[in-house]
Amino acid sequence: MPTPTSTQPAQRLEALSHQLDHPIPERGMMSTDKRPPITCHILDTSLGRPAANIPVLLTLHSAAPDLSFRSTTNGDGRVTAWSPSSPSSSQSQPPSSSPSLEEVFQRKEDQRWSLLFDTESYFGARGIETFFPEVQVRFLVRGGQKEEHFHVPVLLGPFGWSTYRGS
């Protein structure tokens, strides 16, 4: 077994400092990818792991009619992209002409949003009857906050949940 030299600790510190100065991009996201203005993350507290494959509906309630976007949590329990899913986009317009989340989010007015998580299908796939078949989180984005990112983490169990504004 080689004997440590006096330069090895210094090299390790230099390598660690370099990693802290240059964080590794989130899995599944290239460093050039732009994240949506609203994201979420679900952790299953009964397993101590991310909750994958949960359908999520993001809805803007201050528009007439409501505008919705759909996604599903990835293997890391995160939503990193949204697809338009409003009644107007599915019936009267082709999906390609529906506004993107980024376009809708940049409108100047205050916006009331909700995230609806289908927790019944998630727990049902594991044979668990949950008390909360869905979890809805409603929040307000003020007109002056449009340059900010809104991340909504959810801590989820079959019999309880909590949330907060993340970063």
Q: Is the pTM of this model over 0.85?
A: no
Is 52 a domain residue?
yes
Task: Return the amino acid letter for 158.
Answer: P
Residue 133 belongs to domain spanning = 36-163
Q: pLDDT by residue (tens digit) across 83-135?
A: 998 554 444 445 557 889 999 999 999 999 999 999 999 999 999 999 999 99
Our count of domains for the chain comes to 1
Contact 72/55 with Cβ under 8 angstroms?
yes
Let me know if residue 48 belongs to a domain.
yes
Q: Which of 122, 104, 3 is nearest to 63 (CA)?
A: 104
**CATH number for the domain including 47?**
2.60.40.180
77 domain residue, yes or no: yes
